[in-house]
Amino acid sequence: MSLKHIAIIMDGNGRWATQRKRPRTFGHQAGVKAVRAVIESCVELNIPHLTLFAFSSENWSRPEKEVKRLMDLFMRSLNKETPELLKQGVKQNFIGDLSRFSDKLQNKMTEVASLQPIQTKLNLTIAVNYGGRWDMLQAARQLARDVKSNLVDEASIDEKRLNDYFSLANKPQVDLLIRTGGEHRISNFLLWQIAYAEIFFDDTLWPDFDGQNLTQIVTEFNRRERRFGQTSQQIKEQKDA
């Protein structure tokens, strides 16, 4: 089965900066380079979908100064990186509760999401003010409203119908989830969409993660047998059929 969708928890920016006795925001700035490298690699590897966890709903609890600088960096990155991404064939999209951002930043995200490259080679989704439980909650609320309004028959609700209400409804389920930085947890990211994902925890701090790291993980992913509840014998018989 081909690799269609990679999701990455980009962790380690702050620790990378601390190791160099620099402010945490220095690490976030350095992390932009890693984002570029991973995007370029996904295009080269013909992977059509990439979702990046850029800012979680829990990150608002960080020091106010750090959050402000993150927002400034986000705006600068959108302005600077978007023209080059379009040239590379990258279509950007944003998921999460965007209402908490400034009007200026919301307008910028709307503008960037409306831009279409001549030939789309990679669908890049950036998760900001996002949480997996928030995603489940907003999906349940919208589905409940549609049932109440008689737009959906309660008896017709199955996994496919529910999936239509999630933030990544128009994207394939995640095949490969990567977390950098050495931590071994999901951190409330894409809880519904990673149900059958292969998970890789990499010790590399995000600013040091590059295309070679990604290629090595993809190579290992391709060696794994994905059974989806079946046995190895069943998978072998299907391949031989």
Chain segment 219-230, per-residue pLDDT in tens: 999 988 665 555
Statement: residue 57 has pLDDT above 70: yes
What span, in angstroms and rounded, lies between the C-alpha atoms of 94 and 24?
A: 24
Digit-coded pLDDT (tens) for 141-182: 999 999 999 999 999 999 999 999 999 999 999 999 999 999
With a cut of 60, say whether residue 231 has pLDDT above it. Answer: no
Residue 207: is its pLDDT beyond 90? yes
Tokens, residue 221: 């992913």
Q: Which pLDDT score, from 0 to 100, does residue 241 have?
A: 59
What is the set of active-site residues?
11, 59
Residue 130 has pLDDT above 90, yes or no: yes
**Strand order across the 122-130 sheet:** 90-95, 122-130, 49-56, 5-9, 176-179, 198-201
User: Taking 60 as the threshold, does the pLDDT of residue 123 lie above it?
Assistant: yes
Quote the CA–CA distance of 171 and 94 in Å, as a whole number. Answer: 13
Task: Dig out the tokens for 16 from the structure.
Answer: 């990378």
Instruction: Among 4-8, 122-126, 208-212, 227-231, name the one with the lowest average pLDDT.
Output: 227-231
Higher pLDDT, residue 239 or 76? 76
> According to the model, what pLDDT value does residue 165 have?
97
Question: ∠ CA 136-141-143 to the nearest 5 degrees?
Answer: 95
Phi-psi group of 35: left, alpha or beta (phi > 0 → left; psi -120 to 50 → alpha; rest → beta): alpha
**Between 174 and 24, where is the model more confident?**
174
* pTM of the predicted structure, to 2 decimals: 0.91
At 1, the pLDDT band (50, 70, 90 cuts) reads low
> Which top CATH class is 5-240?
alpha beta
Question: In 34-54, which positions are buried (b, 16+ CB within 10 angstroms) versus exposed (e)?
Answer: bbbbbbbbbbeeebbbbbbbb
CB 123 within 8 A of CB 145: no
Instruction: Tell me which H or E stretch contains 145.
Output: helix 132-148
Answer whether residue 115 shows pLDDT above 60: yes
- 203-227 average pLDDT score: 91
